[in-house]
Chain A
Amino acid sequence: MEGNVTIRGSQFYFLTVNYILGTTLFVLIQSLVKSAGRDAWLIPLWGGLCGVVFALLWLLLYRLHPGKTLAQISLDVLGRPLGTVATVLYFLYFTTVAGFVLRNLSDFLTGTIMPETPGPVFHIMFLIVAGYAAAQGVETIARLSQLLTPFLVFPFWFVILLATVNWDWVRFVPAFQPETLAGIFRYQSILGYPFLETVALFMLFPFVGNRLGRMLTGGIATAAVSISLTVFAIIGSLGVERTVHLNFPIYSLVEEVAVNDVIINIHSVISIILLVLIFIKLQVLYFAAFETLRQTFKPRLRWPLLLGIMLLMAGAAPSIIENTIQNWEWSSKYNFVYNGFFGLAIPILLLAVTWIKAAAGKRRQRGGMTA
C-alpha cells in the first residue's frame, strides 16, 4: 500500500455505485429494452447478482494478497516477465474502456446539446481534468465522488419522478411472457458491461480502510437496482415501442417534461448528472491505467506518464468504434468474452497459481522436515 493513504468504506461504496452507473444509464437502456421488451428491468437485477459473485472472486484473490493491487498481484504471482505481460494487457484494457467512455460522452453531447463541436474537443477537455484528479491520488477521486453523490442522486430521482406524469401500467402488460423472459437471459453482455468492467476498482482495494467487501458488493447491488428502477421508469413512461427508437431514452423522457411553464428544460439537469457520472468513471480508469504502469515500470516522474496516457486515451476514443451500429454488434457478440478475459479469466488464473504455489510450498516444507 502507498504510504498511509486510505479512503473510507463509505467513499468506496459511492465510488463503486457511480463507476457502474457511469455511462450505463444512457448507453445501455435502449439495447436492454430491445432485448427483453417490457420485462427489460429484470436484466440489471440478474446482471447485478452475477456482478456480486464476480466481486467475491476478486475479494478472495485480494484476501490471499492483502495490501496489493491487481498489477502487484500479477507481478508477484506470475513472475516478472509473465506478470509484465498481464499488467500491460490490463493497462490496454483500462485504456480501451476509457476510450469507450469518452466516445459515449462525445456521441451523447454531439447528438443532443452541441452538434457542431468535434468529438476530440470533449475527449481532451475531460482527460485534462481526469488526469489532474488522477495525479492528486485516490483520496481526491474518492472525496470528489462522495461530495458529488448527493447532488447526483436527489436531482436524478426528482427529475425521473417528474417525468412519470405520462405513466401507464398497461405498458407492462402482458408481463413475464416466455419469449421476453428468454430475452432477459440471452442478454449476456450486461455481465461484461458494466459489471465485469468493475475489475478496474481492484486497483483501489489496498487504499480502502475498512469494510471493503461489504462496500464493493453493496455498491454493485445498489447500482444494479438503480439501473433496474430507471429502466422500469422509462418503460412505464415511454413504452417499449418508443424506447427502442430513441438513441438516449432517458434524455428524451426528461426532455418532454414541463410543469406549468415554471419548471422547463429540466433535461439540462439530467445532462449534467450524466456528465458528472461519466467523469467519475473516467477518473477511476485513468487512475487504474496510471497506477498499473507506474507499479510495473516504476518511473521516477509522474507527469510524463500521465501525459502519455492522456495522448493514448484521446487517440483511443475516436478509434474505439466505427459507429453506433458496429458498437451494438460488437457489444452483443464480444462484450462478455472481452471483459470476461480481464474480469474472470486472469483473476481465476492468478487464484489457481497462488493455490498451486502455496500447496507446493507446504509440500516442500513437509519434505524438509522429514529429511
Chain B
Amino acid sequence: MTVFHLWFILLVGGVFIYLWAKRLRRDAWLFFVLALMSYGLWYGIAMDQPFTITKMIEQGILGVFSVFSPG
C-alpha cells in the first residue's frame, strides 16, 4: 500500500506543483480533481476491494425512480 501511495503522490504531486509553479491554476485544479477521483478508484483496486461503479449508478437510478413512483 505504501508503494501505491508513494507512486500516486509523486506522480500527481509532481504534475500539480509544476502547473502551480507555472501559474496555470485552472489547469492545476482540473488535473487535481481528476487525480483525486482516480485516486478513489485506484485505492479500492489496491486494497483488492474495488468500488463498483455500476452498483453506484444502479443506486442512483433506483433513487430517482423511487422519487417519481406513486406511493
Point out residues on A near B: beta carbons under 8 Å.
96, 99, 120, 293, 297-301, 304-305, 307-309, 311-312, 314-316, 318-322, 326-327, 330, 333-334, 337-338
Contacts and interface: CB of A to CB of B under 8 A. Distances in A.
A133 to B, nearest CB: 19
Interface string B19-53: 10000101110110111011011101100001111
Q: How large is the interface on B (under 10, 10 to 19, 20 to 34, 35 or more residues)?
A: 20 to 34
A319 B24 contact: no
B35 A319 contact: no
* Chain B contact surface mostly: helix
B1 interface: no
A330 B26 CA distance: 37
A311 B35 contact: yes
Contacts of B35: 308, 311
A312 B54 contact: no
A307 B27 contact: no
Given A304-B15, A315-B37, 10 more contacts: A304-B31, A308-B30, A308-B35, A311-B12, A315-B41, A321-B53, A321-B54, A322-B54, A334-B58, A337-B61
A304 B45 contact: no
B52 A304 contact: no
Given A120-B45, A304-B15, A319-B51, A334 B31 contact: no
B52 A326 contact: yes
B34 A308 contact: yes
A321 B42 CA distance: 14
Given A315-B41, A319-B44, A299 B52 contact: no
B3 interface: no
A31 B26 CA distance: 45
B19 A320 contact: no
Contact of A314 (B28, B38, B57): B38
B15 to A, nearest CB: 6
Given A297-B30, A301-B27, A312-B38, A319 B53 contact: yes
A313 B57 CA distance: 16
A301 B52 contact: no
B33 to A, nearest CB: 8
A96 B55 CA distance: 12
Contacts of A321: 52-54
Contact of A319 (B19, B28, B52): B52
Given A301-B24, A315-B41, A315-B42, A322 B55 contact: yes
Chain A to chain B: the 5 pairs with minimum beta-carbon distance, closest first: A308-B34, A315-B41, A311-B38, A299-B27, A304-B31
Nearest to A96: B53
B53 A320 contact: yes
A299 B26 contact: yes
A312 B27 contact: no
Contacts of A333: 58
Contacts of B34: 305, 308-309, 311-312
A322 B38 contact: no
A326 B54 contact: yes
